[in-house]
Amino acid sequence: MHSKRRLTEQRLDRVLNQRIRPAVHARSVPVEMAIWSVPGEPVPVADGLAAPYEPVTLGHRWGPPWSTSWFRISGRVPEEWAGLRVEAVIDLGFNVTGAGFSTEGLVYRADASVVKALNPRNAYIPVAAPAVGGEDFTYYVEAAANPNLVDDHIPSRTGDQPSWMTGVGPESAPLYQLLRMELAVFDAQVWELAHDLDVLGGLMRELPEADPRRWQLLHTIERALDAVDLQDITGSATAAREVLRPAFTAPAAASAHRMSAVGHAHIDTAWLWPLRETVRKVARTLSNVTHLMDDHPGFLFAMSQAQQLAWLKEHRPEVYGRVQEKAKKGQFLPVGSLWVEPDTNITGGEALARQLIHGKRFYFDEFGVETEEMWLPDTFGYNAAMPQLMKLAGVRWFLTQKISWNTTNKFPHHTFWWEGIDGTRIFSHFPPVDTYNAEITGAELAHAVSNFQDKEAANSSLLPFGYGDGGGGPTREMLARAERLVDLEGSAKVVIESPADFFERAHAEYPDAPVWQGELYLEFHRGTLTSQLRTKQGNRRSEHLLREAELWSATAAVRIGFPYPYQALDRLWKTVLLHQFHDILPGSSIAWVHREAEQVYAAVTAELRAITDAAQRALAGEGNLLVVFNAAPFARDRVPALGATLRTRPPGRPVAPAPCGDGFVLDNGLVRVRIDAQGLVTSAYDIGADREALAPGTAANLLQLHQDFPNEYDAWDIDAFYRNTVHNLRDADSVRAEEGGVRIVRTFGDSRIEQLVSLSSGSRRLDIDTEIDWHEKEKLLKAAFPCDVRADHSSAEIPFGHVRRPTHTNTSWDAAKFEICAHRFLHLGERGWGAAVVNDSTYGHEVTRDVRADGGTTTTTTVRLSLLRAPRFPDPDADQGHHRLRYGFVIGADIADAVREGYAFNQPERSLPGSAEVQPLVTVDGEAVVIETVKLADDRSGDIVVRLYEAHGGRARTVLTAGFPLASAAETDLLERALDPRENVDAVQADGGRVLLALRPFQILTLRLRPRRGD
């Protein structure tokens, strides 16, 4: 028998796409449309409904970039359509991109109630079912003329980005054209036929050619196509469906893979659109979701990011009411446990705790739901402290998808236990469909089944379906496919169910799943550790300012009755958490987003400084003595940790540079640093250890410039070949000594760098204060420190601890980590001696090992900090302009030194006139246990909440002493809820308020301290 496979498949494609699908709305009449173009930013709904409209016709061009236009759609249902299902079909100028990357609109009735949304994959408005002949109708559409930027990451197109990418203001040229304005009958039988053919055709194409089922389906489809009268699709649809019906009665194999499908719409809180547009995207997506739920009571939809629901509640309460209604019915499922889906490489530890705290509280307060999963499908790597943070927040499950984007190594599991740096394990899953925007196609299901890595012992996976990134969500077409794939021979079984049900089943099925220990490093998007420095600096400084504001406000509240600013701190935390979203903090959004972020951070900084200043002034009292406050968790310059003292002697001051040959030397008796005539550090000598920190013949603080033109995603990626070209910035315009240190000026290209290199008395840290006027394009600037250390690993700070990474490239997994994340410090060491680099705003680092020619086995280990990039997309002017950043080189440092210096570098002393010393609210003995947070309890009980952790990676015992009469101490979860007593917490009330603690390596502990009232 001769094969007709290719001929029939081609026939199916053409008939389905050119005849059957268009016939769903074949009977149509025009509608009337009128437009009002909003002169500025979006307006309230009432203004849009009452606006003066002007008639428009088919082909009308509208919508300058980022503008809003309101359309009025009106008409009358023909008498002969009585009793039928009637829809308005509107094409605002949709292109072929996904649902959220083009123009979109939200449909209102005249009473301002919401109907649903319009987008390129969802272009209908339900008018009546059944229709009343002769009935008039009117709808209004708030349409956003958002430019399509989704494909502009192609490098060849990034050199001529239009000016409106910055979001400064709309240009005059309209982007869109009205392409369809019709009232149509929805032909249900034709629609069902289209999806019968779509599902069977998709399944047929994915089955092996040797499988008889494939050929049986081919024959059945051919006969069904023969039954379709192309001149009378409506009249022949039922007969064609009858031909196909037997193909749907054959059940799936008993061993078929089970896919738990849940509706989803990943909505980037900002990316190729500003925050204000995300507010509208949320309303549009959820109006579609709730509309779909009305017709499909079995449809379940999972939504993460509490911030987006908070926006909906504020800006579209009528849609939010519908969401709450569907949540009560069990169809709308709040998931994720987080305020937003944050970057988890750059976000600080306490901020990640607050992401969980505020996210879980919102879901519980608004929906009565205690979320148990962390839902992070699209974040660019996951730090190794997260399992412990999840568990401390009551999270049991973890889901992501992004690791499937690895470019070097395929992750070996889809279902596994993820073990963090402290030993905590969380049951985790990566959907093998390799997308969080599935459409439930035959190709997707076949890929998921073949791709699933755990077939030997497990047979279940999760399938998040719905248009995402720009929102949109599931469609009725996706649900039609799901209905047909519940139990179909040759296919995986698709069952719509909640993530919680999936995880319970997967855990029961695979309780002894394999373990992955440590970070989940994404072998991609490494440039996000560096892009948009100002955004990263705003976040880092805001995190530390929030810590200070809480600390001093709590101290003043307990000591002198200072009014604790609960509401302000809650609001400011949520603002900072919002901007930790995984396309804002990583620097991968359009210019509009980052410009607004800088403005927000400036306002947050001003308000937090005002809060801190008010609390400190209240604590310092009246007087003209100098009161010095130390918010760092370690004492310095005789100022106690978390306390304040009167300054009785000057702090460590920079040592004066002394001439040395044609350069200078900085010597404070602990270390001796030589700087040559080009301003390079040629020696960093540890006097006490009698050891040189730098490799022979090398120079530290060597600035290096690389060409930086990744293959695909400009702001996201650093590709390894950047190392192939390097320009060492050795030449200096000037090198001069001054009271504060040695000042070096360098110019190159169109840029200028000025650095002050200084060393303070009593310090082992060489400070480099850097000001850069940066005007390079597609360049990467690094600072190198080649150390005379044979280190087989580096230790980089992450939230609540540090992670050790190999410095070698023995395996492809090691080699792929050529750009790594560190927070405040990165440490290198041999047994008995080490060095560290610390920073105030840098996250991208690199560590390499080289065997020197002079010694055969002598090793140079080089740390390089990534200071600045200059990508062209999605912000063509990313990082251009003036920057100030600081980093330091700690000579002769162990891990304890690195932890301490990292905090000191980021938490400067603050001083003001007064007369009172301030005793810390709490202290711990030893340096291994670090107090990260001191605040008042969120329930306004007046209890003090202290969060601390073991920072060195070993077991630690410490005594926490309260600086106030203590009634009780209890361990809590992150949400400040009491846990069952444990052996490592023992409050000894009779012993002056001492709490004895025993912590395992990197353990995080939250304590709730209740003051003794009336004392």
**What DSSP character marks residue 431?**
-
For residue 874, is the peptide bond before it cis, meaning its omega torsion is within 30 degrees of 0? yes
Of the candidates 343, 378, 583, 875, the residue annotated as catalytic is 378
> How far is 572 from 575, CA to CA, in rounded Å?
5
Token pair recorded at residue 316: 């579209």
Q: How far from the centroid of its chain's Cα atoms is residue 72's Cα?
A: 38
Q: Which candidate, 301, 291, 266, places its Cα nearest to that of 281? A: 266
Tell me the pairing of strands 658-660 and 663-667. antiparallel
Rounded alpha-carbon distances, angstroms, from residue 847 to 807, 830, 952: 6, 15, 21
Residue 638 — left, alpha, or beta (φ > 0 → left; ψ -120 to 50 → alpha)?
left
- Partners of 88 in beta bridges: 125, 183
Tell me the pairing of strands 180-185 and 124-128. unpaired
452 three-class SS: coil
Token pair recorded at residue 909: 């002393």
Radius of gyration of the chain (CA): 31
Instruction: Give helix then strand counts, H and E, for the chain.
Output: 19, 53
HSE, side-chain direction, 13 A CA sphere, residue 839 = 29
820 three-class SS: strand
Q: What is the helix (H) or strand (E) element at residue 882, kind and residue range? A: strand 881-891
> How far is 311 from 283, CA to CA, in rounded Å?
9
Question: Residue 315, Cβ neighbours under 10 Å: how many?
Answer: 17
> How far is 131 from 86, CA to CA, in rounded Å?
6
Sorted by sequence, the CB contacts under 8 Å of residue 823 that are 6+ apart come out as 348, 796, 797, 798, 799, 843, 902
**Residue-wise DSSP of 830-860:** ETTEEEEEEESS--EEEEEEEE-TTTSS-EE
Q: Is the distance from CB of 287 to CB of 117 less than 8 angstroms? A: yes
Token pair recorded at residue 817: 């980590």
Token pair recorded at residue 653: 């001051």
> How far is 500 from 284, CA to CA, in rounded Å?
26
Mutual orientation of helices 212-227 and 5-15 as an angle, nearest 10°? 50
Q: Which candidate, 16, 184, 190, 187, places its Cα nearest to that of 90? A: 184
Q: Which candidate, 181, 241, 261, 247, places its Cα nearest to that of 218? A: 247
160 is annotated as an active-site residue? no
- Partners of 342 in beta bridges: 581
Q: Which candidate, 261, 246, 529, places its Cα nearest to that of 380? A: 529
Query: Which amino acid appears at position 292 of this protein?
Result: L
Tell me the pairing of strands 956-962 and 922-924. antiparallel
With tokens 């009337």, the residue in question is 32
Q: What is the helix (H) or strand (E) element at residue 127, kind and residue range? A: strand 124-128
- Partners of 373 in beta bridges: 397
Nearest 5°: CA angle at 561, between 558 and 563?
Answer: 105
For residue 130, is the peptide bond before it cis, meaning its omega torsion is within 30 degrees of 0? yes
**Residue-wise DSSP of 351-372:** HHHHHHHHHHHHHHHHH-----
Nearest 5°: CA angle at 908, between 842 and 999?
Answer: 80
Rounded alpha-carbon distances, angstroms, from residue 854 to 572, 695, 785, 792, 962: 55, 11, 19, 20, 56
Sheet holding 658-660, edge to edge: 658-660, 663-667, 671-675, 681-686, 691-692
Token pair recorded at residue 746: 């360098």
| Catalytic center residues | 378
